[in-house]
A and B are shown apart, each in its own frame.
Chain A
Amino acid sequence: MSVSVEARGWWGRWRAKNEGLIDEWRRGLYRFRQSRLSIVGMAIIIFLLIVAFTGRHWVPYPKDAGFTTHVEIRLQGPTRDNLFGTDGYGRDVFTRTIWATQTSLIAGTVIVLVGGLIGIILGGIAGYFGGLVNEVIMRITDIMLTMPGIFLALAITAALGPSILHAMMALSITWWPGYCRLVQAQVLSIREEDYVEAARCIGASPRRILFNHILPNCLSAIVVKASMDFGFAVLNLAALGFIGVGAQPPVPEWGVMISKGREFLPYGWWLSTLPGLAMFLTVFGFNMLGDGLRDIFDPRARR
């Protein structure tokens, strides 16, 4: 690209120094704008984030997020006062749906972060050191991958006692093997690159090589997986709530709300339909973003 005429101030110097990086970002941003799906996904996610983190201040009935009863208005369909209707205790479903957004987004973040971190570290170590370490870690990963996660999560949550925290823990524990395998495969190939060899030659420690040279280059694959996983984490958490081993009432959580609403079908259709719609929107947004990101980072997959 064009050589910057003169580097002025720290901003200019920074730009001059990181020209390659900026160029790469600019190209990424261009491809991002080209893919309409990721724009829509991004818009949905930004909307959800705003709702999640401001929602608790503007919901019409903040008290309804806890345990309150208004018997006189129980089980009323959507009206202007209660946009999403009221539940079996007369609580405003709209308030509770909005309230639950924050819970779900935070829980999803924690699950993906914890699970991802465990997986990345284990996978990085396995891939970089190879040999026996690799064998041991990867065989454990294989075993974990053999087991459909929700069975394990179900068992763990049931054993620890049903609560949203335990559900998050259980999901984090079952979440890492996918990352471990992904990172291990990436590290195996990146390990042989010349710049890693160069770092090794100047005497960089394995930790430095792994965390400063190898892992940053796996980042795009990890980001794509994480953005798609985020939706599934939210989904699985709600699933555990739905079964009854996740969040416990009166905490507003989408899965629990859907499961409680089932008791009032077919009359009280709004009770589970509308929170479910919010959940679908969340997962859909993250999947769209992930799909778009994959196009950007791996153009071969689409074109």
Chain B
Amino acid sequence: MPSPSYPQSPADELTQSEIERYDRQLRIMGFGRESQLKLKRARILVVGAGGLGSAALLYLAAAGVGRIRVIDKEVVELSNLNRQTLYTSEDLGKPKAEIASRRLKELNPEIEIEPLREKLTDDNAESFLKDVDLAIDCLDNFETRFILNRACVSLSKPLIHGAVYGLEGRLTTIIPRKSPCLACLIPRKPKEPPVTPVLGPLPGVVGALEALEAVKLLTGLGDPAIGRLLVIDGYDLSFYWMEVRRDPNCPICGEKG
């Protein structure tokens, strides 16, 4: 529930406190009031509240995305804290979805957070997705990513994909049936590594870029990374763009799919 000092404000106008809170982004050329209202009316799904999710959620909440549904089944572990900046050492053993929700409401009480302590499955994915404008992949394994991808294609929901490994990152924005889906990019089920090495700044950078892509899709600002994959190499700080194309035979989004 929204706190009493922040009564639910109308969806078609900005309150004085919102105008002040979002002042610096309202000043961006081409952004303005209309974009802020689009964010305010938006509903998004963030799957995973780990390293990618910490960064993406903080920036999306700060930017004023009106309703954020966040799914994560895990509790905070000590080995999370090198990168999962939503949590502190006080949070060990507590459910991430609830702690994340509390932190995000502290950051921005003007928005609604819907924490779900669940694991995304083929059976529940569409129910979490059906009423959102887009989904953000902040997951840490291939299997759940493919579940999310399949559901997004099935419901034609834009999906922002991010992933990290060591000092590397990947990012692309998927518009089902217009740009390649995750199964076009990764046609064979890869071996699932038991634990992935990660240095904190990488999910920080990629999660922040996922938030940027979400804001762009929701407001129509700029050109999202559709049909191109960003590969970040943190060792020499190189950023590579690769053109990616749809696979006409893709079992998920192809014409025969």
Q: Please say whether chains A and B are actual partners in one complex.
A: no
Q: Which residues of A contact B (CB under 8 A)?
A: none
Chain B residues within 8 Å of A, Cβ to Cβ:
none
